[in-house]
Structure 1
Amino acid sequence: MKIKISQTIQLNYEVTGTGPNVILLHGNGEDLHIFDALVSRLKASFTVYAVDSRDHGKSTQTNEPFNYNDLTEDIHLFIQKLQLEEVTILGFSDGGIIALLLGIRQERYLRKLISLSPNLSPKDWKKAPLMKIQERYRETKDPMFHMMLNEPNIDPKELKNIVVPTLITAGEHDLFYRSMYRTIEKRIPEAELQILKGEDHSSYIIDTDKMAEAFRSFILR
């Protein structure tokens, strides 16, 4: 289904299950269906909203440049339009960045945050994957690659503003430097960091439910 959040943007989403509200946010170039396996497990315990970001999936295709603040405001408006309270944001990659930015904003509806493999800055990329993104941008001029090369720009000092319990995860072989995740863990007052052995950036979340019980336990704790 779709909901109009502004004069120009409609967000596509699917909702299923009953219980506390959980919003799932995908990464760059993906859509809500990366979470299908996870939703099949979480819906027994939660009301799960899986959302397509603008210019992704079945949401509005603006064909215009956008940034992480735009994406974050979209989700804020989505939550407001649906009048949701006591929300857990579970975001992967770009979605994990959005989760952190909502936490920094201290939105009143937030209950908990789960940020999967986010980064704070383009400087957090390991060299090899960064070179691949740079090459793809040279080939395609895709604005989404441009955004990844220039954003986010989150000052680690801002993370202290996140006052809700926050779970940070990363694969052992993630795209970003481990030191950045340690920084996030130290800066957020109620942060818990899990480095997942044997996993890469997306292997533990895309098209899999392997983290379902860990997420359920953290949200209900």
Structure 2
Amino acid sequence: MTGTDLRSIHHPGALVGPLWAVAVGRGAPVVLLHGNSESHRVFDALVPHLAGSLTLVGLDSRGHGLSPRGERGLTIASMADDVAATLAALGLDRPVVVGFSDGGNIALELALRHPDAVGPLVVVGANLFPEGLTPFSKLTTDVAHAATVLGSRVAPALGPLAERLGLMVHDPRIDPDALGALTQPVLVVVGERDAIRPEHTALIVDSIPRARLAVVPGVGHMVPVRAPAALADLVRGVVRGSRDPGEVAG
């Protein structure tokens, strides 16, 4: 890890490259990527568990939080490119990246599209394509998207929400076979009652050469909110493993 001084983006943060970035804590940097229609604040409950020994770098995705939408529109691929640009601007060298939900999808795309930009991954509630959601979650997402698209015709303020929900309807589109190119350790985390189909999570794990699975008991999709202590333990294991490749993480 680099010795880059991240104090310049401590609260309230700053626009770094295309994305709003904010840092808290001390120690090796760990980059946090949030889910759909969220911001870095979804990881607030994780901060007390990790900020004493790690520098948590929260990024707001394009069109989310305090980050501008830009001109490319919202796709998981373009959002992964944004992260790569911001990591380069921060001078971070292959940091551990923790991605939740769409943030997990972005982390996988980031590793595929920019393999030299990222180190070990922790992907929480990720999916390779929309059909990876459980039938109920897929149905509710499709209905919510359709409703906001229709609503935006009479209430244009709904347009950004419709676009964000469209990400879950149309993206990501990650080829499982492509994941065989990933060389870093990847910890795949899901809640026991996650919105991701168990067989789809198994597909992700089986497709990545150095992947491990961790199932957090008693929770659904919102692992960073509902089980921050358990997630913090998993993240610490990955960070330790990045320092000592012989150590099992997760």
- TM-score, normalised with respect to structure 2: 0.81
Matched, 1:3 2:3: no
Task: Describe the superposition over 1:82-124 as per-residue Cα deviations: whole angstroms up to 9, x where unpaired.
Answer: 1111300101001100111122235224221000000001111
Larger radius of gyration: 2
Unpaired runs of 5+ residues, structure 2, are 1-12, 150-161, 242-250
Number of aligned residue pairs = 216
Q: What is the distance in 1 between the residues matched to 2:87 and 2:174?
A: 23
- TM-score, normalised with respect to structure 1: 0.91
Root mean square deviation of aligned Cα: 1.7
Preserved contact between residue 106 and residue 163 of structure 1 (Cα < 8 Å): no
Task: Describe the superposition over 1:133-190 as per-residue Cα deviations: whole angstroms up to 9, x where unpaired.
Answer: 1111121110111221111111100111111011001112111211111111111111
Q: What is the distance in 2 between the residues matched to 1:4 and 1:114?
A: 23
The amino acid that maps onto 2:228 is D
Q: What is the distance in 1 between the residues matched to 2:117 and 2:166?
A: 31
Q: Please point out which of 145, 151, 155 is paired with 2:175.
A: 155
Q: Which runs of 4+ in 1 moved over 3 A?
A: 61-65
1:206 alignment partner in structure 2? 225
The amino acid that maps onto 1:41 is H
Matched, 1:166 2:174: no
Q: What is the distance in 2 between the residues matched to 1:206 and 1:178?
A: 21
Preserved contact between residue 80 and residue 109 of structure 2 (Cα < 8 Å): yes
1:60 alignment partner in structure 2? 68
The amino acid that maps onto 2:123 is S
1:47 alignment partner in structure 2? 55
The amino acid that maps onto 2:185 is P
Q: Looking at secondary structure, tell me which structure has more strand per residue.
A: 1
Preserved contact between residue 45 and residue 216 of structure 1 (Cα < 8 Å): no
Cα distance change, pair 23–4 in 1 and its aligned pair in 2 (3 A): closer
Structure 1 window deviating more from structure 2 (38-47 vs 158-167): it is: 38-47
Aligned runs of 1:117-136 on 2, under 5 Å? 117-136=125-144
Q: What is the distance in 1 between the residues matched to 2:88 and 2:72?
A: 24
Unpaired runs of 5+ residues, structure 1, are none
Q: What is the distance in 2 between the residues matched to 1:149 and 1:128?
A: 13
Q: Please point out which of 180, 186, 201 is paired with 2:206.
A: 186
Preserved contact between residue 119 and residue 180 of structure 1 (Cα < 8 Å): yes
Cα distance change, pair 4–14 in 1 and its aligned pair in 2 (3 A): closer
Percent of aligned pairs sharing the same letter: 29
1:115 alignment partner in structure 2? 123
CA displacement at 1:53 relative to structure 2 = 0.9
Q: Looking at secondary structure, tell me which structure has more helix per residue.
A: 2
Cα distance change, pair 86–44 in 1 and its aligned pair in 2 (3 A): farther
CA displacement at 1:214 relative to structure 2 = 2.1
Preserved contact between residue 219 and residue 227 of structure 2 (Cα < 8 Å): no
Preserved contact between residue 54 and residue 60 of structure 1 (Cα < 8 Å): yes
1:96 alignment partner in structure 2? 104
Preserved contact between residue 170 and residue 196 of structure 1 (Cα < 8 Å): yes
